[in-house]
A and B are shown apart, each in its own frame.
Chain A
């Protein structure tokens, strides 16, 4: 077990290094440059060049990369060019906000998607099943930023029930929930659709296996059969849940931008348009690390549920 964990953690290092190289290259290949983005539009080429030298952006890319890597290895993600705050602080705050949003939307999606999927599997072909499938299709097909805008139009502008943007400024749970409600719903749509479908098909797979027929033939209560089905379908579902949770955290750029939710997605969006390279690299590195750890956690959870996996 621990050997397995150790090996997986070691394997994570080249993955993260690879991710960091790609991030660095992509950011620098994109047109535009970080200094030009923060300098006034009227400033001339000569002034921009002088500022570039001051920041070390005139050095060859491999050198810049190694300098950056050396600092990261010491836990220093550098400073934002735009705000000059340490990137660690920016990323920490944004990550916490995104984590809360990812948790709340995952909670909604997993609970609702799981229930709908199981219901659909056990009532295959009936109205409930068709309804669940319809919800699933809508969930995965509706662009979530569009859904976000519609939610704002209905609930913020028309009904005036919920705030249209930002995180709560006043202390307390109620303002917090009011601000997070709409982004949660918008962000839950896709995983809701995905999970409903995965749970449904996983449960159906198991339901069609002979051991279920045998269990039923032996006269086992429907509730006990249900437990067996869920337990057997769990590893497959768990993988998807883990991935979906990761996507919720890293893939909420558009939703966070629509709602101005101050998370990693919003920060990433800002950093892209400001060419704030240190922030961009910092956010992506943290997200990549999180993905690697999350996958590891899911794999471990799977081996706990299904010991056969560890032996492979």
Chain B
């Protein structure tokens, strides 16, 4: 039914030339979020919130370079011009702040603003503590203990242990205007009249409906002053609604068009932007119980999946096959021994070696999957294909679909609850934006539930050693080499069924020009023009 509707929507050719003409240089975006992401600073709604709200209104000290699509997005100076760890004290980092930057309300950016923003996340008894924003971002900057002012444009960041991951954490913390907060003295009010240093400033806030922003004329980086005058963000959780809004000219850009609609959208002159970025779609396996406790069975499953088929037939090439946590070409990929190409014969062979056999000792598993959800792509259709692939080699998987929110709640609690006792895996998609998100939280023995989310649990002293070593290695090139070694270990252990990497599809009207789809969860809207 839904596919038919999507097809009809996609096929429908406008009979009249165009919808009502919009103002010059206005970019209207249909987001997948069901609500306007939190505008008070530390974003909610996952990385879509950072993408369109957090990183457009505000900026962190270190930010992502989103100007290129041909390489993984890199960290570059943001509100800090430079930073380095102190040679005499590896738990202390000195950040030199950018001078001459002003917030949207006209007040100056300085060390006090950095400390104010940090306290709003970390200092529970401060009057400007923001419990909501803290809940969103606090855990992402867990190792930052304190920030102290050296002078107006220098701060020192103190961590709880020597960790080279500080720059990756700092980029999650955006800087809010203390002057604006002092004016309203309340985070809800601040969220309705926010003030940051980012390239866009909020002009109109209609809760749950729309957020309007305009180009901030006083933006500090002349090269990145927005070319458009106005940016309008509209929450549209329903894919069909987004598609209809794009096709009827109500928006110029939608996130995640339904894959079925992509050929027709292309034919009608819309641009489909795609690129690899740190996203993986996997089945996280339970390692302390049959059948996934056996490494040979896990490898068999990984050789049984027809990943190219999933991307081609189901997702219209909006994904690429995943044979590891990260994709080939990523600095952390390394050279894993196992290649996990589609090889059912090898899978059957591995299964036999593991002592499983269809009649006497069949491999059976129950997997919890979601019916939809952020980053989950088309979970039902994809899982049915995976179920068939696994069945073909002799692994019987019973799929239990639940609502996205339920899946997340049950997953966090780990496998060892009465409710989850019968399960053998969950299907959730992840990001691997930085070393902790990509590896630490899943593969370190200290990250076992409830501390973090190593639910499997994956307990491997070698992985622990490599994660710790990467954290202690301050040279990014060397750190990447260690993480690549770690990746090789993980891939060959196969604690997950690796399936695909999403390509972050978005559909743009032909009026939208100058957009570069980066290898990132975030986007730079300053280069975009709308005719």
Residue ranges of A at the interface with B (Cβ–Cβ < 8 Å) = 31-33, 36-49, 51, 54, 82-85, 89-90, 93, 149, 152-153, 156-161, 163-167, 169, 257-258, 260, 262, 266-267, 270, 273-275
Asked if B106 is an interface residue, CB under 8 A from chain A, the answer is no
* Nearest chain B residue, comparing its CB with the CB of A86: B188
Task: Tell me which residues across on chain B come within 8 A of A262, comparing CB atoms.
Answer: 208-209
A-facing residues in B96-147 (Cβ within 8 Å): 131-132, 135-136, 138-140
The reply to whether A164 and B245 contact each other, CB–CB distance below 8 Å, is yes
**Distance in angstroms between the alpha carbons of A165 and B138 in the assembled complex:** 36
Shortest distance between the CB of B193 and any CB in chain A (Å): 14
Q: A32-B406, A153-B12 are in contact. Are A47 and B139 (CB under 8 A)?
A: yes
Q: A47-B138, A84-B132 are in contact. Are A157 and B248 (CB under 8 A)?
A: yes
Shortest distance between the CB of A53 and any CB in chain B (Å): 11
Picked from B35, B131, B245, B449, the residue with its CB within 8 Å of the CB of A274 is B35
The reply to whether B414 and A45 contact each other, CB–CB distance below 8 Å, is yes
Asked if B498 is an interface residue, CB under 8 A from chain A, the answer is no
The reply to whether A40 and B19 contact each other, CB–CB distance below 8 Å, is no
Q: A257-B238, A260-B241, A270-B208 are in contact. Are A44 and B406 (CB under 8 A)?
A: no
Shortest distance between the CB of A188 and any CB in chain B (Å): 20
Shortest distance between the CB of A174 and any CB in chain B (Å): 11
**Distance in angstroms between the alpha carbons of A261 and B136 in the assembled complex:** 29
Task: Tell me which residues across on chain B come within 8 A of A156, comparing CB atoms.
Answer: 244, 247-248, 250
* Nearest chain B residue, comparing its CB with the CB of A55: B131
The reply to whether B451 and A46 contact each other, CB–CB distance below 8 Å, is yes
**Distance in angstroms between the alpha carbons of A273 and B9 in the assembled complex:** 25
The reply to whether B139 and A82 contact each other, CB–CB distance below 8 Å, is no
* Nearest chain B residue, comparing its CB with the CB of A162: B248
In the complex, the 7 A-B pairs of residues with the closest C-beta atoms, listed nearest first: A45-B450, A32-B405, A156-B248, A164-B244, A31-B406, A157-B12, A45-B412
The reply to whether A158 and B12 contact each other, CB–CB distance below 8 Å, is yes
The reply to whether A41 and B248 contact each other, CB–CB distance below 8 Å, is no
Known: A38-B132, A42-B139; 8 extra A-B contacts, CB below 8 A, are A31-B410, A36-B408, A44-B450, A159-B15, A160-B19, A161-B16, A258-B241, A267-B208
Shortest distance between the CB of B49 and any CB in chain A (Å): 9
The reply to whether B405 and A48 contact each other, CB–CB distance below 8 Å, is no
The reply to whether B234 and A166 contact each other, CB–CB distance below 8 Å, is yes
Task: Tell me which residues across on chain A come within 8 A of B353, comparing CB atoms.
Answer: none
Q: Which of B138, B237, B241 has the most CB of A within 10 A?
A: B241
Asked if B418 is an interface residue, CB under 8 A from chain A, the answer is no
Picked from B9, B131, B206, B428, the residue with its CB within 8 Å of the CB of A41 is B428
A-facing residues in B449-492 (Cβ within 8 Å): 449-453
The reply to whether A54 and B406 contact each other, CB–CB distance below 8 Å, is no
**Distance in angstroms between the alpha carbons of A270 and B45 in the assembled complex:** 13
Task: Tell me which residues across on chain B come within 8 A of A273, comparing CB atoms.
Answer: 34, 237, 405
**Distance in angstroms between the alpha carbons of A262 and B210 in the assembled complex:** 11
* Nearest chain B residue, comparing its CB with the CB of A260: B241
**Distance in angstroms between the alpha carbons of A54 and B8 in the assembled complex:** 47
Shortest distance between the CB of A177 and any CB in chain B (Å): 14
**Distance in angstroms between the alpha carbons of A266 and B453 in the assembled complex:** 33
The reply to whether B249 and A160 contact each other, CB–CB distance below 8 Å, is yes
Shortest distance between the CB of A270 and any CB in chain B (Å): 5
17 A-B residue pairs with Cβ-Cβ distance under 8 Å, sorted by A, are: A31-B406, A31-B409, A31-B410, A32-B408, A36-B412, A38-B135, A39-B135, A39-B136, A41-B428, A44-B412, A47-B135, A51-B131, A84-B187, A157-B12, A160-B16, A164-B241, A260-B236
The reply to whether A36 and B405 contact each other, CB–CB distance below 8 Å, is yes
Task: Tell me which residues across on chain A come within 8 A of B412, comparing CB atoms.
Answer: 36, 43-45, 48
The reply to whether B209 and A160 contact each other, CB–CB distance below 8 Å, is no
The reply to whether A41 and B408 contact each other, CB–CB distance below 8 Å, is yes
The reply to whether A153 and B188 contact each other, CB–CB distance below 8 Å, is no
Asked if B18 is an interface residue, CB under 8 A from chain A, the answer is yes
Q: Which of A33, A41, A167, A257 has the most CB of B within 10 A?
A: A41
Picked from A39, A44, A48, A90, the residue with its CB within 8 Å of the CB of B207 is A90
The reply to whether A82 and B35 contact each other, CB–CB distance below 8 Å, is yes
Task: Tell me which residues across on chain B come within 8 A of A159, comparing CB atoms.
Answer: 15-16
Task: Tell me which residues across on chain A come within 8 A of B244, comparing CB atoms.
Answer: 152-153, 156-157, 164-165
Task: Tell me which residues across on chain A come within 8 A of B374, comparing CB atoms.
Answer: 41
**Distance in angstroms between the alpha carbons of A37 and B46 in the assembled complex:** 11
The reply to whether A169 and B437 contact each other, CB–CB distance below 8 Å, is no
Q: A164-B248, A257-B238 are in contact. Are A31 and B403 (CB under 8 A)?
A: yes
Asked if B381 is an interface residue, CB under 8 A from chain A, the answer is no
The reply to whether A270 and B34 contact each other, CB–CB distance below 8 Å, is yes
Asked if B14 is an interface residue, CB under 8 A from chain A, the answer is yes
Task: Tell me which residues across on chain A come within 8 A of B402, comparing CB atoms.
Answer: 31
Q: Which of A54, A149, A157 has the most CB of B within 10 A?
A: A157
* Nearest chain A residue, comparing its CB with the CB of B1: A146
**Distance in angstroms between the alpha carbons of A258 and B9 in the assembled complex:** 13
**Distance in angstroms between the alpha carbons of A153 and B4 in the assembled complex:** 12
Picked from A31, A42, A54, A163, the residue with its CB within 8 Å of the CB of B250 is A163
Task: Tell me which residues across on chain B come within 8 A of A48, comparing CB atoms.
Answer: 412
The reply to whether A165 and B236 contact each other, CB–CB distance below 8 Å, is yes
* Nearest chain A residue, comparing its CB with the CB of B429: A41
Shortest distance between the CB of B447 and any CB in chain A (Å): 8
Asked if B150 is an interface residue, CB under 8 A from chain A, the answer is no
Task: Tell me which residues across on chain B come within 8 A of A38, comparing CB atoms.
Answer: 44, 132, 135
Task: Tell me which residues across on chain A come within 8 A of B449, comparing CB atoms.
Answer: 44-45
The reply to whether A157 and B35 contact each other, CB–CB distance below 8 Å, is no
**Distance in angstroms between the alpha carbons of A36 and B19 in the assembled complex:** 40
Shortest distance between the CB of A6 and any CB in chain B (Å): 38
* Nearest chain A residue, comparing its CB with the CB of B412: A45
Shortest distance between the CB of B420 and any CB in chain A (Å): 12
The reply to whether A33 and B409 contact each other, CB–CB distance below 8 Å, is yes
* Nearest chain A residue, comparing its CB with the CB of B135: A51
**Distance in angstroms between the alpha carbons of A43 and B412 in the assembled complex:** 8
Asked if B75 is an interface residue, CB under 8 A from chain A, the answer is no
Shortest distance between the CB of B161 and any CB in chain A (Å): 18
**Distance in angstroms between the alpha carbons of A153 and B13 in the assembled complex:** 10
Shortest distance between the CB of A55 and any CB in chain B (Å): 9
Task: Tell me which residues across on chain A come within 8 A of B430, comparing CB atoms.
Answer: 42
Shortest distance between the CB of A163 and any CB in chain B (Å): 6
Shortest distance between the CB of B490 and any CB in chain A (Å): 18
Asked if B366 is an interface residue, CB under 8 A from chain A, the answer is no
